[in-house]
Amino acid sequence: MREDPFCFWCRRPLKTYEPTPLPPLPPDYPTIDHLFSRVHYPIRPRQGSWVLSCPLCNSERGKAEERQLTIGELRWRSRQHRDRRLIRSTDVNWRTQPPHRQSVR
């Protein structure tokens, strides 16, 4: 942020806020964005894969990526996200085991 306080995509000047504002975020609030698309590069390089972005560019890029996914891929990603939240972080085999369910009384 100190070296290049601009949105990577539109070059809008960004500034920090103390404390962090509540949504909706101001247009000059810095967000972190993927440099490499999650759709086109499922395995991204670790170094240099994040850039500063304004909220508008970050959200527009995310929407554009989602429009490129098939409905099956969107459902799979949605299910993966839901299942990960349900599984405790102590479970070693979370990829192969179904999520733990709590009984409702």
What averages of pLDDT result for each successive group of 10 residues across the chain (105 residues)? 84 90 90 81 69 94 86 76 53 50 48
For residue 91, the Cα-to-chain-centroid distance in whole angstroms is: 24
Tokens read off for 93: 């085999």
| Summary count for the chain: helices (H), strands (E) | 2, 2
Token pair 């670790």: residue: 46
Collect all residues with Cβ–Cβ distance below 8 Å to 84 and sequence separation of at least 6: 94
* Whole-structure pTM value: 0.62
Virtual torsion, Cα 94, 99, 103, 104, nearest 10 deg: 140
